[in-house]
A and B are shown apart, each in its own frame.
Chain A
Amino acid sequence: MEEDLGGEERFRREQRDFEGLFRSHYPEIVRYLTARLGSREEADDLAAEVFLEAFRRVPGLRWRGKPVLAWLYRVAGNMAADALRRRGREVPSAEIDAPVSSEDAAERLAEREALSRALQTLPRDHQLVVHLRLVEGYPFAEVSRLTGRSVGACQMVVLRAARRLRAQLEQEGINVPA
């Protein structure tokens, strides 16, 4: 826990303090990569690459009103896209820990797999907006700062993503209760 700092001051500090940058943002970069790749293990490996790149390039970044975190997400997004291209196959669905032992569980699993597939069909920048708001819990103002879109545009992306996900589920015959 630490006191909140002004944007530029924090940017400068993160440029100087690689380990601080790593500790602050490693978990969310791993979560984002897990969502993109569908595999925690691959996400761990790729997150290490993202931070190695950060070690090399962040000290040379110029302050343009965006936090270092925005740069980290951009690099992570690019690396995930490369990894998916290299993989050249469908993204596996999210890993399921619990064994499927009942009809309910089987339905939940089918829904989860369908959702995971649907999420992957969203454009990359839409996935990021959804991730920042829904997984990391950033307010829309912060999502806007991290993605360089207006607040209204971010809200619109989330609405369209939700509709697309729901349509995809309906197409697969999965009911989404309110």
Chain B
Amino acid sequence: MSRRDEQELAARLARVLDGEETPGDELASLATVLERATEPARFEISEQEVEQALATVRPRLELRKHRRRRQPRLVLAFGTAAAAALAVLVVTFTQIGGLDVEAKALAALGGPGTVLHVDERIVPAVPGTFPVSTRTVWLDPGRHREAWGQVVRGIPIETTLVENGRVSRYLPEQNTVIVGSSCLAFASGCAEVLDPVGFYREALRAPGIVKSKRERIGGRDVYRLTLPVQSLPDAVPIEQRATIDAKTYLPVEIDWLEQRPGEGLRVVTRILVTRIERLSEEAAAEAFILPLSAGARIIQRAAPKAKLRLLGQRRLSLAEARGVVPKLLWLGDFYRGRTLLGVDQVRWNAGVAFRFRYDDITVWNYTSVIPPDLVAGRLAAPSKTLPAPLGVARFYSSRTGNVVAELERGGRSVAVVAPMLFKEDYFALIRGLRPLG
């Protein structure tokens, strides 16, 4: 084969890989072999894993920063050096006690090959702000999978399976399963796949970040562990506090705390661990199969491949908005003293979303593209999932710290953001959504 023919063949193979040419046998065979050879490296790494890796690297960065500062000043006063050495000793001995509790707490959860079966009761920090729900969770870190079912007032709301980063969410009420290539395919996804006990286990594995304190509460000896979750420049600081039994070293309560600008640290979600047991892989096998009913509708959602770029936006008349199929959800011309200011069609490189603007409330309708304002924080308190008149509603914190209420309905997502309103008002907002007819 001449070099020119080879170049032509290489360009055609490139077009086949780009999906621009239908291959004949030869090119199809070459494309297949490439696809298969590279398949093992095609796996997702969740944002949670990235944050954990970064948390592991940070102390070494600090050390390097410290070295950088120290290097030019070789002469240190003996007294300073002695004081530093003493400080290191004090810190080391102080941490030994904490590490001991951490190690025992981690050991109580079993090794990475152990499957954990956990029953959680999610209660509001302020009674009455949202209904109590229960979650049954299976955690299998060794095989990179998690599954959980959520029940509110005895009604199953959803079952979710996360396997190697792929998220499948089954909504029994709508007999629909939404499959995302990663948690990034969902606005709330990455907050959603963060099970509190799973996170607690991972936090224990990261060295030196746990503070522990022994206490006696209600006649029971417990340890209180504080695990810093997030302190990113663009996010609300979040902390997880775990209360563990001093005898079994298993968690009995996990609280998520947030610190909003100008406010103190406050509990936003309280999870009571009502049961926790270690299972073998065989005993838990069925937990990792979604319990789909016959005829379940499957909707695929892909995580964005390219960086999101805004292409433009256009104001729509109400008549034009009414013509959109499936029907958009809105709050009407007026909502509790607020007027509809406008409807926009916003275009990004990944797709189109529709926005209804009401003074301090925004309602988004979207499918293939997640408007950036709605993306969940990298590591936020777990989202709350509750039944709503038109589907399943999810409440979570966005990257900028705003509460977002998101409704899944017939494959379309609708989200409401209202920075000036309280969380309690969001339930009313979700109940107020209706089709634009």
Contacts and interface: CB of A to CB of B under 8 A. Distances in A.
Interface string B217-229: 0000000000000
**Nearest 8 interchain pairs by C-beta:** A94-B40, A178-B28, A27-B45, A162-B30, A159-B10, A35-B41, A155-B10, A1-B308
Contacts of A115: 33, 36-37
A118 interface: yes
A130 interface: yes
B338 to A, nearest CB: 29
B41 A131 contact: yes
A108 to B, nearest CB: 9
B234 to A, nearest CB: 10
17 contacts: A18-B61, A22-B50, A44-B53, A51-B57, A55-B64, A112-B40, A134-B35, A140-B14, A158-B10, A158-B17, A159-B13, A165-B33, A166-B29, A176-B36, A177-B29, A178-B28, A178-B32
Interface of B: 6-7, 9-11, 13-14, 17-18, 23, 25, 28-45, 47, 50, 53-54, 56-57, 60-61, 64, 143, 232, 304-310, 370, 372, 375, 378
B63 to A, nearest CB: 10
B41 A48 contact: no
Given A166-B30, A177-B29, 17 more contacts: A2-B307, A3-B307, A3-B308, A19-B232, A26-B53, A31-B45, A34-B41, A48-B57, A52-B61, A55-B64, A116-B37, A116-B40, A131-B41, A155-B11, A156-B6, A159-B6, A176-B36
B38 A134 contact: yes
A56 B64 contact: yes
Interface of A: 1-4, 18-19, 22-23, 26-27, 30-32, 34-35, 44, 47-48, 51-52, 55-56, 94-95, 97, 111-112, 115-116, 118-119, 130-131, 133-135, 137, 139-140, 152, 155-156, 158-159, 161-163, 165-166, 169, 176-178
Nearest to A30: B45
Contacts of A30: 45
A14 to B, nearest CB: 14
Contact of B13 (A2, A135, A155, A176): A155
Contacts of A22: 50, 53-54, 57
Given A1-B375, A178-B29, A152 B11 contact: yes
A66 to B, nearest CB: 18
Contact of A156 (B10, B29, B42): B10
B33 A158 contact: no
Of the candidates B9, B45, B378, the one having the most CB atoms from chain A within 10 angstroms of its own CB is B45
Of the candidates B18, B41, B45, the one having the most CB atoms from chain A within 10 angstroms of its own CB is B41
A4 B305 CA distance: 13
Given A18-B61, A97-B143, A166 B38 contact: no
B29 A34 contact: no
B149 to A, nearest CB: 24
A153 B405 CA distance: 50
Contacts of A156: 6-7, 10
Nearest to B53: A26
B30 A52 contact: no
Nearest to A1: B308
Contacts of A4: 306-307, 309
A166 B25 CA distance: 13
Contacts of B304: 1
B38 A162 contact: no
B29 A134 contact: no
Nearest to A96: B40
B32 A176 contact: yes
Nearest to B233: A19
A135 B43 CA distance: 9
Nearest to A33: B41
Contacts of B307: 1-4
